[in-house]
Structures are given as structure tokens and as C-alpha cells.
Amino acid sequence: MQKLIRRREPQGSAIVADNLPPVLSRVYQARGIASPEELDYQLKYLQRPQFKGMDEAVSLLADAVVADAKVLVVGDFDADGATSSALAVLALKAMGLREVDYLVPNRFEYGYGLTPEIVEVAAAMAPDVIVTVDNGISSLEGVRAAQARGIAVVVTDHHLPGQELPPAEAIVNPNQPGCPFPSKHLAGVGVIFYVMSALRAELRQMGWFAEAGIPEPKMVDYLDLVALGTVADVVPLDRNNRLLVAQGLERIRAGLARPGIRALLEVAGRSPHRLVAADLGFAIGPRLNAAGRLDDMARGIQCLMCESDALAREMALELDEFNRDRKAIESGMQQEAQAMLERVLGEQQGELPWGLCLYDGSWHQGVIGILASRIKDRHHRPTIAFADAGDGEIKGSARSIPGLHIRDALDAVAARHPHLLQKFGGHAMAAGMSLKREHFDEFQQAFDTEVRRQLTDEDLAAEVITDGELSAADFSLDLASQLRQAGPWGQHFPEPLFDGEFTVIQQRLVGEKHLKLVVSPDEQGRQALDAIAFNVDLAQWPDQQVRRVRLAYKLDVNEYRGRQSVQLLVDYLEPLGAPSGNH
């Protein structure tokens, strides 16, 4: 799909700071950074814990610690849920609580959150208190079911609440009505980090650590988990989240990461000392998520909590194997989905629906979210992928594009067709839902109609937003290293992406579907640069007739056998002039 390249506009005046290259100053200006102070990620600048519900949560948990009560952490089956669960259990144990355990609903049996069904499972473990992490804000019936059994509930979450809040003993969520905490984009792991930090302060004030004869835990020890969960959950990296991620990365680079994170980096082939935020998102996150997608997230949590290097490596290898299986399953599903869309194109004279709904009875329920994301990226349309959930029900995972709030779109469909959706939830860019298999065709039509109601033709034109061109002198190892370390880059604070026209000197396939290029920013080919484009369209590339290309790329450092060199990581590749056809 050809895309429109649009360059970011500067916001405000340029930053003036010592040793800041003009390119990086331009990048920061385009992201709304007004002063060097905004890039200072020392812990002293972390937002204070001004949360609604924090006092109640801390009081209840402090009483539980002192009384040696039994606490059960109920998490979620993604990387944010796993890191949140691990952090809560480890911190509570470090504060002297002897009986603390965790429970993660199996996504295939129980679905998401603190449901009445999962409370039944939890009740068999006889907890005095349930603490939810990365879920709970919509668990009205689950909280009531726990309380009916005499179990107190502390909800810690970051998702948007519905019109009614659960009747929990305490709720800590920056997005609940009336919460004054200014950083609304915390991941679930960020919320529980704040709760555990406030609990430690309360126990210290009570003299608990001295009385119990235990060392006061250092909350910085958990920042590797906070960084991992925050990046993997793709929450916007506002200043507070960037600070948490930067501090976590600093600890990992210094060799202070937990054994499980070190082991996951090792099996992913990433050096802890060169780690950047993207490595957490693309190397560790998928391996953790694969456990929750294909099996049981408890395996991922065990890896994160493990104290033994040898055992952590064993668990990391198992998670890596899950991820390989997930990739294989996803690849097959992608081919099947693309074949479906080719048939639709044939039937509809080359036109796709504006809202894509795809269903196959053989698809894996744990992988449909990734499938929806891949199809959305390829065709730039809101996409929902469905899989069988048993008993005549199908579950869908939705991904959206800018301009369409997917949760609101589903709400509109439900309002117009009350019989279609059994349940749904989510946020602007992602959502989940379930419906009867017999209603799929009707839902498909209703969703497409709603998308057409909300979007325009211009919304369906895919864009690549860049930071402009680089000069020949900018293709240096120094600048590439500075850009790499200048983050942490991530959601809403994107890694610098540049564009330009290049002469192609060489092109070849590596690793089956990656295009390795040697390009030059000048037509004579005087300055040769290595470049790589991952997962190219094999129907189009390589094409030896293409001599000039337009690239959108990141300037990166490639390290091979101890030698560093400049490399362009290509996000978008477009031939200039008519290509010769398929090769």
C-alpha cells in the first residue's frame, strides 16, 4: 500500500542545550519538548502519589501486613498484568507478608478480570484480601461475589471506568472520576508501583520494619518490572512514564535487572548494556505475552519472580518456544486472512469494506489480537478478527486507526443493534467483544456501516509521519548513537523517523522475507549506507530494476562482532519510477 509521507511540524521554539545536535533539537521540538528540564529523568521528579483511594488502599494493606493476613493478587494475562502481579507479590513479601499468592485467569476458560467465576477459584485459596492489578475497574459482579464471601477487595487498575464503579473497599486508578493524579497514562504496573511505594512509606512511619526486624525494601529494585510493563502495554510515554522507563532501563543496563528479565534478554539476543525501550517492547514483551496467548501467564510471572539464574534461563527458553509457536500460528492465520480479503476484493470490484471483520473457526483465540493488528497495519482499516469460543459463541479482538475510537464505535453498533453484541470493552485503539456465531454476518455489515458513518476517504489514506530529511553529514555513528540513547522513545513520543530519496546500490533477501539494501543519499553512490526492511512484500521485492527509492527510516547503530556501523532501519519503502513487475 502506497502511503503519504507527512513531516512533523515544530511546536514552540527550539531547545537550546549544550551538546544537543540540531537534529535532536528538531526532534524534541516536534514532540512538544519546551526545555531541557523536561528531559531530566531523575527520580526526584517523579509525580507524587496524589491518588484518590490511596489512603484507603494503604490502610487496608498495612493492616493486612501487620496482622499477617492472606493476600491474593489477581492479575491479567498480558505483559502488563504479569509485571504487575510479580511486582505486587515480590513487594508484599519484602514488606513482611508471609502469605501472598497470585492468580491469573486463564483467558480461554475465564476471560478477563475479576469475574464471579474467578472469585470462586480464588475462594478456594481462602484469602482475606484480593488485590487486583491491571484489571478490576469494570468487575462489579466479581467484587460483590468476593465481598459476599467475606473477602475485602482493593482494585488497582488504569483502564477507563464505566458509568458505575465496583463497590470495592478501595480503588486506585488515575482514570477514576475525581482522581487528582496528573499523569493519566500509567500502565497497570505503574499504578501498583505507586501503591506499594505508599504502603512502604506507611509501614515505615508505623515503625513496622524495625519492629519486625526486616530490612526496608528499596522500591527502585522493581523499576525494571515497571519499565517492561509500561513499554509492553504501549501506553503513552508522557514525562512521568518516560521517567519510570528511563530509570528501569538504567538499572537493566547497569546489570541490576531481575534474573528473569536478564534471561529473557539473553534468549532474545539483546545485550542488557545496549538496551533501549524498543527492546522491551519487541524482544521481551512478545515472549511474555506468548505464555498468556498460548498457555498460562503464570509461567511468565514465575520467570519474572524467579531468583535463580539457572531456573530463570530454563523458563525463558520455554517462553521463547511459546513465542516461536505463536509466530508460526500467526503466520498461517495471516495467510488465511489475506486470502479472504483477496476473495472480497475480487467479489467487490477491488473495494474492501471500510471496517474489516474476519472469522475462521480454526483460528487461535489467543492470537487474534495480533492478527487484527497486522491486517490493520497492512490495509489501514479498523479490523476485527474473530475466533471460536465454544457454545456457539465467537470472540473478537479489534484494532483501530486514527480517527475512529473503536470502543465508541462498538457502543454505537450496540445501541443500534442491541441483540448483536453480548459484551464488549476497550479503549480508542483496541477492544474485545463476544457475539453469537449466527450473528457474525449481520455484525460485519453493522460494523462496516458504523465505520463509514464516522470516517472519510481521507482517513483511509495511510500516512507515514517523519522528522524530515537528514543531510549527508548526519549519517554518522555519533548522531545514530545519540538518537538511540536519547529516548526512551515509545507511544506518543515516537522514535525519530526520517525520510528521503536514495540510490539503490545493492538489494537482496535475507532470512526469507527481509530486504537487505545498500543505498546512497546521492545519485552517484558516493556514500554507501546499509539498510534493512523487515517483512517486505515478496511479490514486489527484491526488484533489481528499481534504482531509486523513497525511504522512511530510523538511523540506528548496527553492532556485529564488536564493530559498530550506521544502519538504516526502514519503516516504509517505495520505488521511484515504474517498477518492472513481480520478481
Q: How far apart are CA 10 and CA 7, in angstroms?
A: 10
Question: Which of 120-129, 435-444, 537-546 has the weakest average pLDDT?
Answer: 537-546
Mean pLDDT value across residues 308-334: 95
Confirm or reject CATH 3.10.310.30 for domain 336-460, answering yes or no.
yes
Q: How confident is the model at residue 346 (pLDDT cuts 50, 70, 90)?
A: confident
| Residue 470 CB partners (closer than 8 Å, separation 6+) | 23, 498, 500, 521, 555
> CA 353 to CA 448: how far, in whole Å?
6
Same topology for domains 45-318 and 336-460, yes or no? no
Of 101-110, 192-201, 430-439, the range with the highest mean pLDDT is: 192-201
pLDDT, position 394? 96
Rounded Cα distance, 378 and 338, in Å: 10
Q: How far apart are CA 175 and CA 157, in angstroms?
A: 9
Whole-prediction pTM value?
Answer: 0.91
Measure the N-to-C terminal CA separation of the chain; round to a whole number of Å: 17
Written as one letter, the residue type at 349 is: Q
Report residue 469's pLDDT band, with 50, 70 and 90 as the boundaries.
very high
CA distances (Å), origin 268, targets 145, 253, 446: 42, 15, 42
How many whole angstroms separate alpha carbon 566 and alpha carbon 529? 7
pLDDT, residue 582, reads 41
pLDDT of residue 90: 98
Separation CA 288–CA 92 (nearest Å): 22
pLDDT at 349 over 90: no
Going by C-alpha positions, the residue among 49, 308, 335 that lies closest to residue 196 is 49
Helix locations, 206-297, DSSP H: 208-212, 223-232, 239-253, 259-267, 277-279, 285-294
pLDDT of residue 583: 38
Contact 192, 133 (CB under 8 A): yes
If we measure between CA atoms, which residue out of 431, 424, 385, 382 comes closest to residue 402? 382
> Does 427 or 401 have the greater pLDDT score?
401
Number of other CB atoms surrounding residue 202 within 10 Å: 18
- Give CA–CA dist 85/90, Å, rounded: 9
Helix crossing, 406-416 with 440-454: angle to 10°? 120
CA dist., res. 280 & res. 235, Å (int): 13
Question: Do the bridges between strand 430-436 and strand 129-133 make them parallel or antiparallel, or are there none, so unpaired?
Answer: unpaired
- What are the cell numbers at 66? 501487620
Q: Is the pLDDT of residue 294 over 90?
A: no
**pLDDT over 60 (residue 19):** yes
pLDDT of 166-194, one tens digit each? Answer: 999 999 999 999 999 999 999 999 999 99
pLDDT over 80 (residue 12): no
Angle CA 470–475–481, to nearest 5: 110
Strand pairing report for 129-133 and 71-74: parallel
pLDDT digits (tens, 9 = 90+) for 127-175: 999 999 999 999 999 999 999 999 999 999 999 888 899 999 999 999 9
Residue 579 has pLDDT above 50, yes or no: no
The per-residue DSSP string of 272-329 comes to: GGG--HHHIIIIIHHHHHHHHHHS-THHHHHHHH---HHHHHHHHHHHHHHHHHHHHH
CATH number of 469-575: 2.40.50.460
CATH number for the domain running over 45-318: 3.90.1640.30
* Cβ atoms of residues 536 and 515 within 8 Å: yes
Contact call for residues 52 and 176 (beta carbons, < 8 A): yes
> What's the per-residue H, E or C state across 139-176?
CHHHHHHHHHCCCEEEEECCCCCCCCCCCCCEEECCCC
Q: Is the pLDDT of residue 581 over 70?
A: no
Tell me the C-alpha distance between 207 and 202, whole Å: 9
pLDDT digits (tens, 9 = 90+) for 31-77: 999 888 899 999 999 999 999 999 999 999 999 999 999 999 999 88
How far is Cα 360 from Cα 517, in angstroms, rounded to an integer?
A: 37
- Say what the pLDDT of residue 508 is: 95
204-248: pLDDT as tens digits: 999 999 999 999 999 999 999 999 999 999 899 999 999 999 999
Closest CA to 155 of 53, 232, 268: 53
Per-residue model confidence (pLDDT) at position 373: 94
Q: How far apart are CA 260 and CA 280, in angstroms?
A: 13
Residue 110 pLDDT > 80: no
- Confidence band (pLDDT; 50, 70, 90) for 348? confident
Q: Is the model's pLDDT at 300 over the cut of 70?
A: yes
Give the separation between CA 529 and CA 233, rounded to whole angstroms.
Answer: 34
Q: In what order do the strands lie in the sheet with 152-156?
A: 100-103, 71-74, 129-133, 152-156, 170-172
Helix (H, G, I), strand (E, B) or coil at 71: strand
Domain ranges of the chain: 45-318, 336-460, 469-575
Residue 461 phi, psi (nearest 5): -85, 115
Strands of 511-562, DSSP E: 514-520, 529-533, 548-560
Residue 454: in which H helix or E strand, if any? Answer: helix 440-454
Average pLDDT, the chain: 93
Nearest one of 352, 499, 516, 527 to 5, comparing CA atoms: 499
User: Which residues are CB-contacts of 583 (< 8 A; sequence separation ≥ 6)?
Assistant: 541, 542, 543, 544, 545
Q: What is the reported pLDDT for 350?
A: 80
CB within 8 Å of 97: residues ≥ 6 apart: 64, 65, 68, 69, 71
C-alpha cell at 218: 528499596
What is the pLDDT averaged over residues 274-290? 93
For residue 369, pLDDT over 50 is answered with yes
**Quick check: helix, strand or coil at residue 478?**
helix
Contact between residue 365 and residue 107 where contact means Cβ atoms under 8 Å apart: yes
Model pLDDT, residue 424: 87
Could you give the 3-state DSSP secondary structure of residue 411? helix
Cβ neighbourhood burial of 119 (10 Å; 0-12, 13-18, 19+): buried
**Residue 44: DSSP 8-state:** G
Q: How confident is the model at residue 580 (pLDDT cuts 50, 70, 90)?
A: very low
The rounded percent of the chain whose pLDDT value lies above 90 is 83
